[in-house]
Amino acid sequence: MTRTAGDALGAAIRAHAETILRGHDDVRTAAARAPGAPDDAPDAVHDARVAVRRLRATLRVFRDGTAPEPGTVGALTWWVRTLGAARDAEVRRTGLAELAAGLERPSPEVLAGLATLDGALVAADAAARAEVTAALASARCRDLTARLDALVTAPPLTDRSGEAAATTLRPAVVRELGRVGRHAGPVAAWRGPGTGDRPPPDVVHRLRKAVRRARYAAEVLATSGDRATDRWADDVVARHRELQDLLGTVHDADVLRATLAALREPRTAAAVDACERLGDDRAAQALAAAAAAVR
């Protein structure tokens, strides 16, 4: 059964807002957890951040069909950045552990340096989680909660919401695919390790954000109820999910590399060098796969 744009957008807005609201308690628990302690909700921060990004993308991409209250997108951006600091800290610690496990016969100097680096990342993780805890108790979070409650109760739809979702929402997805294409050039032109410098991290990151937004937009369109449209949108989602994962691997490696470089000092130099070599190899492999996917 075909759906209206309002049906598809309203369902997406409600679902994402409810996920964010339900996640507050899990995020609070995760933020209060001591480093190394058992975690009953290991993906709480990640899940909350993804829900915020999906909701924000829905409101931004389908701007012809939604009319959020002024300040709502800004409130979501504040929350996703707050969560992002904590999630990035988690990813850096995990990334360092994975690199350490991949090193072949590390020397005592490297092992000692890895322990020092991990200690610094633990401290950064604790600081980021403390910021999340403080944010949850803030007036800004209370304002965000009120806005989310309003989105659940009455998704902000425009007069176009009564039109068919398949025809009304598809142009916005096509527009996002165009953004992906405009950002893909430098990555597509790279032919892999040994063929020149990799595209700069900011270039890769911009493509990743465009890919993510196109995927989230296509997820909404895929609920249109029109079989042909839904199949097309599902294909967009599948292709962009895989590409997003590859670019995410590169981005995480680039962020970790910059973090370790900032922590480089005599005690950690050997460990940083070893991690950079292995991390760069893994990032290059992922980027080569991404480049092939966007050609």
DSSP string, 57-86: HHHHHTTTTB-PPTTHHHHHHHHHHHHHHH
Nearest to 62 by CA among 145, 165, 210: 165
Residue 34 has what pLDDT? 67
Mean pLDDT of 55-83: 97
Query: Does the structure show a pLDDT above 80 at 143?
Result: yes
pLDDT at 153 exceeding the cut of 90: yes
Is 54's pLDDT higher than 90?
Answer: yes
Percent of the chain with pLDDT over 70: 97
| Whether the predicted pLDDT of 160 surpasses 60 | yes
Confidence of residue 231 (pLDDT cuts 50, 70, 90): very high
Question: In this structure, what DSSP letter does residue 138 have?
Answer: S
The distance of Cα 180 from the centroid of its chain, to the nearest Å, equals: 16
pLDDT of residue 267: 97
**From residue 275, how far is each of 22, 87, 245 by CA, in Å?**
38, 21, 21
Q: Which pLDDT value is given to residue 40?
A: 56
CA pair distance 216, 230, nearest whole angstrom: 14
pLDDT band at 41 (very low <50, low <70, confident <90, very high): low
- How confident is residue 68, by pLDDT bands cut at 50, 70 and 90? very high
Residue 226 makes CB contacts below 8 A (sequence gap 6+) with 2, 164, 165, 166
What tens digit of pLDDT does each residue of 165-221 get?
999 999 999 999 999 999 999 999 999 888 888 999 999 999 999 999 999 999 999
In DSSP terms, 66 is beta-bridged to 157
What mean pLDDT comes out for the span 210-234?
Answer: 98
- Amino acid present at 156: P
Integer angstrom CA distances of residue 45 from 10, 30, 155, 269? 24, 7, 24, 31
Is pLDDT of 39 > 90? no
Dist. CA 291–CA 295, nearest whole Å: 6
What would the pLDDT profile of 85-139 be if each residue is shown by its tens digit?
999 999 999 999 999 999 999 999 999 999 999 999 999 999 999 999 999 999 9
pLDDT of residue 195: 86
> In this predicted structure, what is the pLDDT of residue 185?
96
Q: What angle do CA 182, 187, 188 make, to 5 degrees?
A: 80
